[in-house]
Each structure stands twice: as C-alpha cells, then as structure tokens.
Amino acid sequence: MRVLLVLTVAALFGAVALADPSLELDAVSGASYTYEQYLKDFGKSHTTARAALSHKKIFQRNVKQIIAHNSRKPAPSWRAGVNKFTDMSDAERRRFLGTRVTTPAALFGERRLAELPAINVEDIPASQDWRNVNPPIITPVKDQGSCGSCWAHGSAESIESYVAMATGQLLTLSRQNLVDCAPNPNDCGGTGGCGGSTAELAFSYVSTAGGIATESEYPYHARNQACDTNVPKAATVGSWVVLPNNNYTALMQAVGTIGPMAINADASNWFMYSSGVFDGCDQSNIDINHVIQLVGYGHDSSANQDYWLVRNSWSANWGEDGYIRIQRFSDGDGHCGPDTKPQDGVGCNGGPSTVTVCGSCGIWYDTSYPTGATTIGPAERL
C-alpha cells in the first residue's frame, strides 16, 4: 500500500524551514532534536499514524547519518544538515529532481555548438561569481516543490540572466509557462512538464513560441496545467548554444567570461547538504537527473579545494542560501564515469543505453546557454 505524505503549502515551497546552524547536527545537538520538533520546524503533518511512523523512522536513520558525517575526523569539507528532505523516502525525494542525458547531438537535429575562441585555462579568471555583478543578473532562489520542473527553473533562470546582461532589466520569468507549454515529443529528459525535460527544449520553445511570460503574469503552481497561450510574453531568445561534451576548459571559459550556464548533474546525494565544498559525488554510479544553473567557481582556502558554484531550485532554506559548492577538478580522465540511465538526464527515446559523463557529479556533460536574449514588451522589474 502506498504511504501518503501530506505537506503544508509552506513546507512544500520551503518557506518555513529554519536557517539555524544548529540544524547541522552533531552528537550533542542531534541527541535532543526530535521528530516532533522537526515537524514543527518545517511545517509538516501526516494524515495517518502509519505515515507518521514510517517517516519518523526515515528521519531517525538520516539524523544518524548526518551526525556521523559531521563527526568525522578529520573534519569533512562539507556539513550535512536537517532540511525538508530529512524524513522523505527515496521515491519522494526523486520528485524534487525531474530530468531524465543522450548525447545532445541527437536531441533536436539542430544542435548549436558553441564556437569558443582558443584560450588557455590560465587566462580564464581565477574565480567568478555572477551573483556579484552590477547591475544584477541573478534573481532570488526559487523552489520547484515536488514537481519535476528543475529543467524549467534552470532554463528560466538562464534566460533571466542573459536578458539582464543584454538590457539591464532583471525580470522574474515564468517557470510555469515552460512546464505547461514547452513540448517534448521525444521524451527527452522525461515526459515533459513535471515529468522532466531539458533546458535546450525550453530554449527552443521560447525562441519559436514568441517568448516567455513573467512570473507575475503566469505564476508557478508546481503541477501540470493546460497551456495558457493568452498570457503576454515579456522576454525571448534568438537561439541557444551547447558546449562541447565533457570539456572542462570550454565550461570554465564560458562561465568565466560569458555568463551563467544551464547544466545537468547527478543530485542524488545532495539532499543532506548544508554547507561547505561538497565532495560526495559517486563517480562510479552516475545518474544525471537534475538541471540547475552554474553561476561561478572559486577556491575555498579553508578546505583547500576548488569548487563550482551551483544554484539549486530547492528553496533558499536549503544548502548555502539555496546554493551548493561542488568540488571542482580539471582532470577529466580521473573523474568520468558511465551513466546507464541516460533518459534520467537529457536522453531521448531511441538514444544510447550508456553514455560517459565527466566532472564532479557529471557537471561537465551537458551545458548550454541562450543567445539573443531580450525583452519584447512591458515587463516587471525585480
């Protein structure tokens, strides 16, 4: 029998999760943190005693893992913490991912490869954080809820950034417009809508359908709905480019000198992340399953680790204000692995059964960004 978990609206979108550092539990604080307090902190409730007991057991098991991780000696480079995912089953967590990756050349029959000028890695900026440019080009972190719409979030965020760079207007664009309207006839990265898709399909839709609406005109509801074609469009893109697969130098050059990138990654082990430089990617069993926005990179001197700076779509109460820093390697040969479930990423029907993906959590594999971004009518300003 299927166990039901009922969340309040506030908990669904992460609005009430605490930012208290004590939620990075250790042996002392973890001993006194109860499931009843957790439910109160995160605004959750259950419809049956059976559901409550089932999720309490999951919570208790995950708290033990959090305490064990944070108590390691020497201290780990990242800290685990309690968040809205702590009492969720694996099946429930998967709803917060939502992209199913074949080699992108087969996606649309019209792959637009980036033609980047030759450059040495040494000539790329040593660090980059697109959150700090002025005027700003990054909107606040959102929450996809239990709809597999990460692809809509990552692509809308990327369009926002490139529109802002081109026009000086930072718009909050509609993820629901993409969920409801962007077609996915070949089941690339999923079945469309809350069932998953790809950033490239989102860019394609916006470039051919007259644009994308603002969030205020077409608000997000975290569910599949009928496409509303009467909502006015606020921004559009002319095309998009895809970087060469598994190419560290190309990705560094693009995010270092062009702008944020829509990327794909294996987020299976991110649910307990709270802070620090994450080094928990499993390169032997990679499953690309999440679209996010890469907004920079840098070096953490305390951990002595290079990192990628990634914006997630699990609310600003997750991770480092909605972001995760992931260990960055330049050695592709040492950090590649097979993805045996390509349609969990950006793969389409009829694609290969296994692909090679590189970089921590497969971050190098499929990366793209829109071009020709501009506003097309009256639009809200952030």
Is the confidence at residue 106, as pLDDT, over 50? no
**Could you tell me if residue 39 is inside a domain?**
yes
Q: Within this chain, do residues 23 and 82 fall inside the same structural domain, yes or no?
A: yes
For residues 78 and 132, membership in a common domain is answered with: no
186 and 136 in a single domain? The answer is yes
Whether 150 is a known active-site residue: answer: yes
Catalytic choice (46, 55, 153, 290):
290
What digits encode the pLDDT tens for the residues 134-158?
999 999 999 999 899 999 999 999 9
User: pLDDT value at position 285?
Assistant: 81
Of 47-51, 190-194, 330-334, which range is least confident?
330-334
Q: Are 258 and 147 contained in the same domain?
A: yes
User: Alpha-carbon distance 13 to 223, whole Å?
Assistant: 13
**Is residue 103 scored above 70 in pLDDT?**
no
The pTM for the full model equals: 0.86
- CATH number (domain holding residue 152): 3.90.70.10
The tokens for 65 are 């893992």
- Output the six-digit token pair for 248: 């560290």
Residues 90 and 146 in one domain: no
At 254-281, the pLDDT tens digits run: 999 999 999 999 999 999 999 999 999 9
Q: Specify the number of domains making up the chain.
A: 2
* 32-50: pLDDT as tens digits: 889 999 999 888 988 898 8
Q: Is 290 a catalytic residue?
A: yes
Structural domain includes residue 243: yes
Residues 190 and 42 in one domain: no
Known catalytic membership, residue 221:
no
**Same-domain pairing of 165 and 249:** yes
Report the pLDDT averaged over residues 50-68.
Answer: 91
Are residues 87 and 171 located together in one domain of the fold? no
Same domain, 71 and 89: yes
Confidence category of residue 334, pLDDT binned at 50, 70, 90: low
Beta-strand relationship, 78-80 and 44-45 = unpaired
Distance, CA of 329 to chain centre:
20
Q: Are 85 and 230 in a shared domain?
A: no
Q: How many of the other CB atoms lie within 10 Å of CB of 117? A: 6
**Based on C-alpha coordinates, what's the Rg of the chain?**
20
Residues 359 and 249 in one domain: yes
- Asked if residue 1 belongs to a domain, the reply is no
Which domain, by its residues, includes 152?
A: 104-375
Mean pLDDT score across all residues of the chain: 85
Q: What is the mean pLDDT of residues 212-217?
A: 97
Are residues 280 and 143 part of one domain?
yes
**Of 55, 62, 70, 150, which one is the catalytic site residue?**
150
CB 263 within 8 A of CB 158: no
204 part of a folded domain: yes
Residue 328 covered by a domain: yes
Closest CA to 294 of 360, 197, 214: 360
Catalytic residue among 246, 264, 312, 317: 312
State residue 346's pLDDT score: 60
pLDDT at 342: 57
